[in-house]
């Protein structure tokens, strides 16, 4: 079975187990999702959702972030890690949204990645969730599973993204990303994947090599 066929089989199996998955970050508007996704770098969605309860209550508008005292902002987001850079980027991102985008979260990849703190992962989360523009979202789970399953050999998220885009129809890109994340959390964890419980195993390079039948 070639790589494209295996990818389709893997997605079909994950579809059965995770039919309704979506972004697990809490948000009420595009700005909140944009900022929450930035905070999720090197953190967990669970922790970010705890932090954003207070963050979104304290800072309600782009103007609030743009005019924020950086030390106060750092204090609110401290527990997400890398809070110095994250606070600086949240503030600068909102300043640029106000000056360059008329206070609107843009709807294209090029515009989104022009914002401070926004890479392709964050942009694809926003595009896929808010604007329904399909994209491969490569977080640590998606990257790890893609390598284990033999869908890519790359560590660089941008290269993983390009590889997966070639294997599945565009309409499945966003949902496949979410299903990889869900499977990574439930079964294919980083330290000790539960290969014996995994129905993807017959199509997974790692599972076939490391599990005795």
Residue whose tokens read 């808010």: 130
8 as an active site residue: the answer is no
- Among residues 180, 177, 182, 173, which one has the least CA distance to residue 149? 180
Give the DSSP per-residue string, 2-63: -HHHHHHHHHHHHHHH-TT----S--SSHHHHHHHHHHTTTS-HHHHHHHHHHHHHH--SHH
Q: Which of 121, 163, 166, 171 is catalytic?
A: 121
Q: Which of 45, 86, 139, 163 is catalytic?
A: 139
Contact call for residues 176 and 8 (beta carbons, < 8 A): no
139 as an active site residue: the answer is yes
Catalytic residue ranges? 121, 139
């Amino acid at each position: 079975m070639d790589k494209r066929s295996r990818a389709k089989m893997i997605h079909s199996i994950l579809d059965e187990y995770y039919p309704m998955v979506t972004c697990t970050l809490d948000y009420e508007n595009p700005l909140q999702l944009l900022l929450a996704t930035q905070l999720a770098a090197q953190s967990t969605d669970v922790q970010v959702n705890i932090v954003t309860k207070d963050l979104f209550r304290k800072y309600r508008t782009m103007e609030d972030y743009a005019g924020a005292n950086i030390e106060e902002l750092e204090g609110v987001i401290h527990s997400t890690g890398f809070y110095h850079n994250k606070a600086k980027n949240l503030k600068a991102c909102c300043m640029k949204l106000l000056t360059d985008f008329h206070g609107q979260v843009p709807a294209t990849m090029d515009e989104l990645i022009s914002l401070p703190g926004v890479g392709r992962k964050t942009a694809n989360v926003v595009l896929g969730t808010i604007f329904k523009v399909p994209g491969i979202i490569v977080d640590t789970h998606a990257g790890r599973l893609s390598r284990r399953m033999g869908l890519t050999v790359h560590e660089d998220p941008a290269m993983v993204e390009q590889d997966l885009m070639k294997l599945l129809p565009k309409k499945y890109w966003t949902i496949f990303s979410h299903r990889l994340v869900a499977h990574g959390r439930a079964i294919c964890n980083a330290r000790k994947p539960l290969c014996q419980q995994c129905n993807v195993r017959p199509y997974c390079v790692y599972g076939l090599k490391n599990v005795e039948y």
